[in-house]
Structure 1
């Protein structure tokens, strides 16, 4: 498979308690939500390396058998995910251990991240301080900073893909997961796509415009907003309403949710939720933002003075409500949490889910996607119409200039023809004068010869007379 070799030894890893090819303690079906018509499908199971006893997460990616099929993942997409994961080595990003392949699946052996989602962990607390929030946010920024300096855009940053390695640790470590739609951004290559989770995608994705690393920064702004308030800035009653809110950057800081939030934190969010990607805060700028730096300085200052820092407490009630709602409204798109929690239920519902998926796409998702695409089409059509009118006016101006130039050219040609006639007349006249001059010159020459002869004849008698006299 090119740079990403997908062939491995099938006996290196064993999985838990199952009579089939591999067995697992827990399993979770991933249906990565993409709002175009082809989706990614994977199953993640816990496994153990026989030689070392170390546990890993085995992500089974169903291969697409036919290029025309919509089931499974194309080889190109699998290679892209593997290539990106092989390039990444960072404490805040999941690590790829090995890759295997069988007849139907590609199996990625990944670092086991079993601490659960960050938001679930924080929602268990009675309250949350901005300092605690920024401790975790700083880890997210560090992970994204590493990716962006390698020109890798994640394109699916959201709470479900922000996990804890081990929540029992005093200082839990963040892990960014799920690189199924991540891309390497190549300079000079324009990249467009419509993918991701609607609640977290940037306006340039909604409007089908060129994409870059800036799309991740928008997602970080949405995540920070939810982290500090428990409310989602753009989420509407329908997917179309959500996309419309995103395209219009339609959000505010409701006092009900942000009464205990600092102005610096709001400024951090404002500078990320900017429609123009070029004006949006970059990952380097976000790490240098006063909110992040001020909290770090304040903590260091209080530690040096031996005082306990005064913390702005944020109630987590709404964050709990948000996590419960998000988990109940649709299957979470994470592959490494609660391996045992839903395994038996999902196995029983798997067949029914496969049968209903096509109907759900045709009846609900397709209708909403078509509405979204229709909205985008109308906006683009309006833009093209304006551009066409401008180009038409420019063409009319150029046509008039061309006509004036053509008239001037014809006038110049006419002047040239007139001048040539005058020149030819002068040439003929000069020829006649030259001929006349030559005739006169010949006549003068003949007369001069005659005069000279006459003078000579007149001079001879005188000479003879003189000689006679002597």
Structure 2
């Protein structure tokens, strides 16, 4: 198994005499699939097979996945899964190809990074996790844009002052859900300053 198939590791042999002959290079990660520990992270992220991400024992078929990604890149002119983190890739896999089957998810050492088990009365179902703190992130972005709008006000008279800026909800973080530990710490600090 090559374990690192990507466009950087595919070269044209002799473009003038054999324009369609290519050669696979860089066998530094090549090994027998039996020697790859279950759950080991192999392959470049944009070319990583779903079974590698889930932590299922791999076979040479992971190289076929990577080769398919290279073929798509050559045909489309762009990477299918470029500049994504693992969760975004898994989300795209599910969107494009459907959810991995139940046995794959149960066998995968890393399945719980991407999916959670919904427990029902009759059966349990694997469900793709949603990105964390989506609501908080949206509120944080709205607060930042609000501050930015005031900072970049064309009319200098209406522009936010430094004192107003320090009191803005983005700076004070009043728009975010309060962490109970922060509340306890603040109360302790207030008690110490009073006494």
Give me the TM-score of the superposition, normalised by structure 2: 0.46
Q: Which has the higher contact order (CA 8 A, sep 6+)?
A: 1
Task: Return the index of the structure with the highest Cα Rg.
Answer: 1
Give me the TM-score of the superposition, normalised by structure 1: 0.21
